Every structure is written in structure tokens, then in C-alpha cells.
Structure 1
Amino acid sequence: MPNKEKPIADNVISQQTPQRASRGFMLLSLLAVILVGLNLRAGITSASALYHDLQQFLGYGPFVAALLPSIPTLVFAVAGTATAWVARRLGLSGTILLALCVLGSGLAFRGIPATWALLAGTVAAMCGIALCNVAMPSFIRENFAQKTSMMTGVYTITMSIGATAASSLSVPLAMAAGSPTLGLAAWSVLAFAGALAFIPFMLMARSEKKAPAAGPRVSAWGLLRTKRGLVITGLFTVQGILAYAIMSWLPTILIFRGMATAQAGIMLGLLQIMSIPATMFVLWMANKLNKLRSAMVACSVAAGIGVAGLLLLPLSLAWISAIALGFGFAIFPLVLLVISHSGETPEETTAMSTLAQSIGYLVATSGPFGMGLLFALTGAWTVPLVLLLGVVVLQLLLGIAASAYRRPALRRVQ
């Protein structure tokens, strides 16, 4: 069976190679990847820095306070399953263009000063991010076949830059606008800028519509019956629980302990800044040194130090936890790298990405939502943080297991 599929894949690649070789096309692809990356966490961390102010401004209760940071992962799980269906009809570029338009519209809608608008706008914006989450590994594979690792690094680094800017600037923007909801809506401009960059891709895809149709359809759920599918999905799940719990609640945890709102947002920004050099370092370990397992272990150990620091260190040393957690967040590009090389064709990669992200984000909803409810029940962050340490241990074990499943292509990637 694999022998019969290979000529098809080779034929598709050979048809696309001339376009990929164009310098202008490569630069446009690079710009598109950067703009998408800048958007994919900005819509989340911009709200995280303002949750305390939003609750005071809009007056919603503890249930909405726990629900709001849980919306991203819940929507990612549900909307992500539709990505393959949308991509078959619109193509990868059309899917990402649609996603960025939905994201921008949802972010703009959050500017309405009402709780229902905040919730509805967040759901819409996260639908846009969900489509991009699943489609981007395949987009990178298609347009940067020989530079997958490098472009995965660029993609995740720009995600961190966007998250850093959003978490650090949202409070000043809200103060300048006179409203936390308007401070959130300002980030819609970035999403619409990203959408503009994908219009040329949509036009090019229409002119070449006949070539990609030959690829076989791959069931995401069939991969769940394989050990590789289970391990990759499990790893994506636990890193999602940890990442979204921390991104959602870190400023609130620090404010609860007595830190000023603006400074707490800066701590979240510091975490994101640290993830940039950490991403470069772990990708270098995984590719140049062929130490994927060591990189996975280093990220999990750093995350454990960061969570333990939130429990044990004085507030004046909160920056240590932020830096350690930022290094721990660098496990995300390692997981994306494994997903990008998990299939023989872009269709298989999209299927694995759909499986890992749909199940992963659904279960990861328990992170931010569970932490919020546990805090409401106990009146402290001790129990939620202790449970988060257990998640870190599970991430360590699954990271070691996933590193054993790398393909030879992963070792050869540039």
C-alpha cells in the first residue's frame, strides 16, 4: 500500500516545487507564517492580563470567571475537528484566511461592554484560532518541506512574541481606552492584517485547484488506534492543560498574593519572552544534537520548577517561576515538530494534528476551568498548583515516550 501512494505524493511535490523555489513566494510564505503566529496567543493572553479588571468592570460572578479562561481549549477541541472538512473545500490558504477573518471579528466584538458580548466574542475568536492551530503544521510542511524545523521555530517564536506583547500591553491599552473591553478589541487589527497576507495564497490556490485533489483521505480517529497516535495525543493534552492553566491564571495568582495588576501582566510577558530563546535552544537540541528526548525532559523539569516556585517562593522572586515556566512552554514546538513528521503526506499530518488537538484541547479545558473552580471552593491556589505538579510529571513521562517515536525524517530535517 505505501508503495502505491508514494508516486502520487511525489507527483504532487514535483508539481509544486517550481513555485516553492520562487524567492518572492518564499518571502510571502514567511510573512504569512509570522503574522499567523503573532495572532494565535495574543487573543488569549490579552484577556488573561485583564481578567481581574474585566470582572470588576462587567460584574460577572465566579462561574463566568472560571468559564471564561476555559473557552479557548473547549472551542479548540470542537472547532478543530472541522478543519479537515473546511480545508477540503477551501484549501489550506482559504481555511487560514477564513480563520483570521473570524478571529478578527470575534476580537472586535469583545469591545462591546457586556458579559454576553465578551463570551460570544471569545467563542468566535477562538474558533478562528482553532482552525489555524490545526491547519498551520500542514501549511508549513507544504511550503517549507526542507525547512520544517526552522519554520516551526519561527512560527512558535512569533506566537510567543504576540503573547508577550498582548500580556504586557493589554493593561496600558485598556487604561488608554478607558475600558478593559476596548483594550481587548484593539487586538483585532493584528488579526485582519494577517488575513490580508493570505489573500495572495487564496488566489494562487484557486489557479492550481486541480493538482492537490489526488491525495488520499485519512481518518484522524483511525490514528487513535495506534500507539503513536495515543502517545502524541496524550503529550499534546497534558502540555495543553499546563500551558492554558498557567496562561489563564498566572496574573490572577500573583495579584491574589499582592502584586499590582500591571506588574502581574509583565510577569506573564516575561514568561512568554523566556519561551523565545528556550524554543530556539530546544529545537537546536532536537535537530543539531539529535537530543529530542533530552529537550523534552528539560522542558518538563523547568515547568516543574516554575510551578513549585509559585507554591514556595516569596512574591519578590516570582520572576524565577516566570522564567522557568517560559522555558517549560518550549515543549510546544517540540510537540508540533513531532506532529509535522507524523505522516507520509500532508493529509496524514493534518489528520494527526486534528486528532491531537481535538482530544488534547477538550481534555485541556479541565486545566483553566478546574483551577478556577478549585480556587473558588478553597479560597487559595495551593490545591490547584499541587495538582498542576502532577500534570508536569505526566508530561515528563509522555515526552520521553513520544521522543522514541520520531521518524528518520525528523533527524534529517534542516
Structure 2
Amino acid sequence: MRASPVPALAGGTLLAIAVILTALNLRSAVTSVAPLLGDMQQDLAVSAAWAGVLTTLPVLCFAAAGLAAPRLATHLGLGRAISCSLVMITVGLAVRALDGPALVLGASLVACAGIALVNVLIPVVIKGSFPAKIGLMTGIYTAALQGGAAIGSALTPGLEQPLGGWRPALAIWAALAVTALVVWVLAARRHGATWVQAQVSETRRSLLRNRLAWTVTLFFGSQSFMAYIVMGWLPQVFIDAGVPKLQAGIIVGMSALIGVPIALVIAPLAARKRSQSAWIVGLSTVGVIGAVGAMAAPASHPLIWSIAIGVGQSVFALALTVIALRTKTTGETVQLSGMAQGFGYLIASAGPLFFGLLHELTHRWTASWILFLAVCTVQIVTGALAGRNRYV
């Protein structure tokens, strides 16, 4: 059954604000943990294996919950599904700071599951409520998401001492989730039952046998595969090359921030074109140059290599844009978003593992970077195909 069209201004300013506030929660909840991980291990008396599980939870949740999101949206309606997800994020962030190791893991699992559901459903909101502004809203959403990641990583360490420890420094991020929840509920109520029904009208045919759907999925998965390598290992690559630890952290932070202006500018421009392939190939090629530089001479120009890699990683905004542009209805967008992000994040979960394993086996970073470049080639090919003006 085809979904009925939603007016271009159905979302309005309030819904746009709700999308932005929601996006700010989708990475800050994760990146706020990394700077405090050492203090958490010491206070909770846990092993490095426990820390590894905690840092791996997000990407595994993104995969599992991503596959479940379409069914949840169909049964609850899009507005209620996102509201429930924001409740999960709020509760998880607040509760994870209350007790011992088991509760931290359990509450983090709840929060990450909520984040994963929203990851899949927000592109559907953009497709259904801003059909004439898909590129612009996707760019704004992506910029807010990346900005939230930077804010979570940068602000949390400074909150630890004035708030009295890592627990309140982590718990305070629940306030941002509550704010997003309140604004989202107010925005969703304006649409009523008609808006919910239009967004989640079920498409009966499966996309699992659709070649274009798998192309989009491989494009999203290869991009995410490299993104988690960059977040997890790029600082260590520079540190091993002799770059001071603080400088390495700042340099890699630049690679994330560079994606904000690119998302705001490139995504809207690309969405206006019949094909997004040239933009995808162009940005990805810059990323290849950065990766080759980081592999061959990491200490010579680390800032240049990091920024170039960040430009390549900014193709994430186009990956989300493509999900909306390659579908004709919001029902299809739900399906394609769930498939691309569910299987895509499952692919991504192997990235940091194999990148680190190759380094451990060879005691050098060369083999790891060869893997990175091979996956980057997959991204370029699948991105060029996914960017063409076709529909699933």
C-alpha cells in the first residue's frame, strides 16, 4: 500500500527543532563515556574486557535495533516510536550512573537501543515531513549529530570535577534527552493520527531481494566501517608515530568537526541533483588521500591527513540523503533505512576489531590501512551506484 503524501510544510519549525534536539542526543550519549572510561574502570574495579564491551555496545545496538525499527514504527506509529525511544535514552542515561558494573552495562544497553531506533526513524521523518527540503534537513540533522558527538567528548571531562565525579557528569546528559522528548511530543501532537498513519504505511514487498537496496546498505555499511575505525584508532596511529597525546586528540577531533559545515552545504546541494554519485566519489577520494598520507607519513602532516579523512567521512550525510532519495514513499523509507542501518552497522562492528587485530599481528599499521583503503574502494563503487537516480 502506498503512503499518502505529506505536505512540504507539515513539519514546520517546531518539528525541525525537535529533529535537531533529538540528533544532539544520538552521539553525545556515547562520546561522553570515552573521556571518563579510565575513571569508571578504577572506581568500579572492572577489567579492560568490561570496558571493551561498554564501548562496543553502541554499534551492536545500532545493528540489532535498526532491524527492529520498521516493525516498531508500523505497530506504534512513527511519533510514538520515537517518543518511546527518547524515553529509553533518558532512562538509560540517568540510571547508568546509579550503581555498579552490571547496571552501567544494562542501562547503557537501554540507551543505545533507543538511539539506534531513532537513527533509523529520523530519516523517515525528514522524508515524510520535509519532502521538498530533504537535503537541507538531512544536512542540518547530520551537523547536529556530529556536533553532539563533539560536545559530548569535549564538555564531559570538564563537568566531572565541579559535579563531583564521573556519575553526575554522565547523568547530566539525560537532561538533554528530556528536553528533546518534550519538544518531540509537542511537535508530534500537531500531526495527529493522519500524520502517524501516513508515515508508517506498510510496504508489503520485501527489499531483501532488491539489488539497489543492498547497494545502499553496502554503501552505508562501508562508510560506517571506516568511521568507527577513525573514532577508535586514528588517535593511536598518530601517537605511535610520535605525535603528543593531547595534540593527537585535538587533531582527530578536527576530522569530526569538518563534517559539520560539509553536511550543511554539500547535502542540500547534492539532493537537488538527479544524481549524487559525483559528490560521493569526490568526497571519498579526498578521504583516500588522507588515509594514504596517514599510512605513509603519519607524523609529517597529521592535521592535513586528519582533515582529509574527515572530508571523506562527511559522506555520511550523503548516505542518509540517499536513503530518502532512493525511495518513493515513507513506508519504503522505513524499510530501506532499517535495512541499511541494521545490516550496515553490523558490518561496521567488524571495522575496529579487524583494524586493531591486523596491527597486533603485524606490529605495524600498514596492513590495517590497506584494509581501510580496500573498504574505501567499496564505498566509492557502491556510493556511485547508490547515488544514481533510481528507486528501490
Structures share fold, TM-score greater than 0.5: yes
Aligned-residue offset at 1:263: 4.5
Instruction: Tell whether the 8 Å contact from 2:237 to 2:298 is kept in structure 1 after alignment.
Output: no
Verify the 8 A CA contact 1:293 1:403 in the aligned structure 2.
yes
Say yes or no: does 1:279 pair with 2:279: no
Per-residue Cα deviation, 1:85-128 (whole angstroms, up to 9, x for no partner)? 22123211111111112112222233246433332232212101
Partner of 1:106: 92
Alignment match of 2:82 (pick from 88, 96, 105): 96
Partner SS, residue 258 of structure 2: helix
1:358 to 1:214, Cα distance in 2 relative to 1, 3 A: closer
**Structure 2 residue aligned with 1:305, among 289, 304, 308?**
289
Q: Distance in 2 between matches of 1:187 and 1:315?
A: 36
**How far does residue 253 in structure 1 lie from its aligned partner after superposition?**
4.5
Q: Which residue of 1 aligns with 2:225?
A: 241
1:145-188 CA distance string (max 9 Å, x none): 21111111111111111112122223222344454454333322
Could you say which residue in structure 2 is the equivalent of 1:30?
16
- The residue correspondences of 1:35-184 to structure 2 (distance < 5 A) are 35-51=21-37, 54-55=40-41, 58-112=44-98, 114-177=100-163, 179-184=165-170
For the Cα contact (< 8 Å) 2:200–2:334, is it kept in 1? no
| SS of residue paired to 2:97 | coil
Letter in 2 for 1:203: R
Stretch deviating more after TM superposition (274-283 or 148-157): 274-283
Per the alignment, do residues 291 and 146 of structure 1 end up closer, same or farther by CA in structure 2, a change over 3 Å counting? closer
* Distance in 2 of aligned mates of 1:110 and 1:78: 21
Kept in 1: contact 2:224–2:344 (CA 8 A) = yes
- 1:182-193 aligned at under 5 Å gives the runs 182-193=168-179
Q: Tell me by how many angstroms 1:215 deviates.
A: 3.3
In structure 1, what is the equivalent of residue 186 of structure 2?
200
1:284 shift after superposition: 5.0
1:399 Cα offset (Å): 1.4
In the TM superposition, what is the alpha-carbon distance from 1:80 to its structure 2 partner?
1.5
CA distance in 2, matches of 1:181, 1:130: 23
TM-score, with length taken from structure 1: 0.83
Do the aligned partners of 1:167 and 1:265 also contact (CA within 8 Å) in 2?
no
- Asked if structure 1 preserves the Cα contact closer than 8 Å seen for 2:66 and 2:342, the reply is yes
**Aligned-pair distance for 1:58?**
4.4
**What is the SS of the residue equivalent to 1:41?**
helix
Q: Which amino acid aligns with 2:221?
A: T
Displacement of 1:336: 1.2
Structure-1 separation of matches of 2:292 and 2:46: 31
* CA pair 117-286 structure 1, distance change in 2 beyond 3 A: same
Count of residue pairs the alignment pairs up: 392
Q: Encode CA deviations 1:294-320: one digit per residue, 9 max, x unaligned.
A: 211122222223333433435474322
- Answer yes or no: is 1:294 the counterpart of 2:278: yes
The SS at the match of 2:203 is: coil
Distance in 2 between the 1:207 and 1:113 partners?
A: 40
CA distance in 1, matches of 2:77, 2:158: 39
Structure 1 residue 266: deviation in Å?
A: 3.1
Alpha-carbon distance in structure 1 between the residues aligned to 2:253 and 2:274: 30
Tell me the residue number matched to 1:411. Answer: none
Matches within 5 A, 1:316-355: 317-355=301-339
Give the gaps of 5 or more residues in structure 2: none
> How many Å separate the matches in 1 of 2:161 and 2:246?
10
* SS of residue paired to 1:147: helix
In structure 2, distance between residues paired with 1:280 and 1:213: 25
Measured at CA, do residues 320 and 112 of structure 1 come closer, stay the same or move farther in structure 2, by a change above 3 Å? Answer: farther
Cα distance between partner residues in 2 of 1:267 and 1:42? 19
* Partner AA of 1:45 in structure 2: T
Q: Which runs of 5+ in 1 are unaligned?
A: 409-414
CA-to-partner distance for each residue in 1:310-346, whole Å, 9 max, x for gaps?
A: 3343547432233112211221111111110222211
Aligned residue identity for 2:277 = R
Aligned residue for 2:382? 398
* Cα gap change, 1:122 to 1:38, in 2 (>3 Å): same
User: TM-score w.r.t. structure 2 length?
Assistant: 0.88
Aligned alpha-carbon RMSD (Å): 3.0
Inter-partner Cα distance in structure 1 for 2:234 and 2:272: 34
Identity of aligned residues (%): 33
1:213 Cα deviation from its structure 2 partner: 9.0
Q: Describe the shift of the 1:384–1:130 C-alpha distance in structure 2 as closer, same or farther (beyond 3 A).
A: same
1:217 matched to 2:219: no
- The 2-side partners of 1:316 and 1:43 are apart by 34
CA distance in 2, matches of 1:353, 1:364: 15
User: 1:58 touches 1:113 (CA, 8 Å); kept in 2?
Assistant: no
Note the C-alpha offset of 1:203.
3.1
Distance 2:52 2:145 in 1: 24
